[in-house]
């Protein structure tokens, strides 16, 4: 079996979250609980009608809502850089520290490409170091 997406006890995901049992892409993420992904009292998990495991707390796993397993939606990361370089450190800190496992690498890659285009005066390496500390 492939390694679970979320590992370790310090991550804010729920103990029964499918992210703790499946790798990225093997479960869906929705904004909140709904009738579309009912709770199964037999095992304590939520599933789609097709039996796909569902996480209902995107903010806890650091993933945007998506039908990753059901529809094969590819995972993408989208930075929304602030309007001013003075806001960059706080923004990057928040984004990087709430990122899901394996997503952090994608965010760093995207930041490395986008920051110089938006803020040519900013030292990207220094900004990322401050964000990750």
Residue 63 confidence (pLDDT) above 90 = no
Task: Record the pTM.
Answer: 0.68
Q: How far apart are CA 95 and CA 89, in angstroms?
A: 10
Provide the percentage of residues in the chain whose pLDDT is more than 70: 92
Q: How far apart are CA 89 and CA 79, in angstroms?
A: 13
Q: What is the mean pLDDT of the chain?
A: 88
Q: How far apart are CA 71 and CA 50, in angstroms?
A: 11
């Amino acid at each position: 079996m492939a390694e679970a997406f979320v590992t370790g006890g310090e991550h804010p995901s729920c103990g029964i979250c499918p992210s703790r049992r499946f790798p990225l892409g093997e479960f869906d993420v929705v904004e909140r609980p709904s009738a579309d992904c009912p709770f199964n009292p037999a095992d304590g998990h939520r599933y789609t009608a097709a039996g796909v495991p569902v996480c209902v707390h995107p903010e806890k796993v650091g993933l945007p809502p998506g039908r990753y397993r059901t529809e094969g939606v590819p995972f993408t990361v989208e930075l929304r850089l602030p309007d001013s370089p003075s806001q960059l450190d706080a923004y990057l800190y928040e984004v990087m520290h709430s990122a899901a496992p394996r997503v952090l690498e994608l965010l760093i890659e995207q930041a490395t490409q986008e920051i110089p285009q938006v803020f040519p005066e900013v030292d990207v390496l220094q900004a990322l170091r401050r964000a990750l500390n």
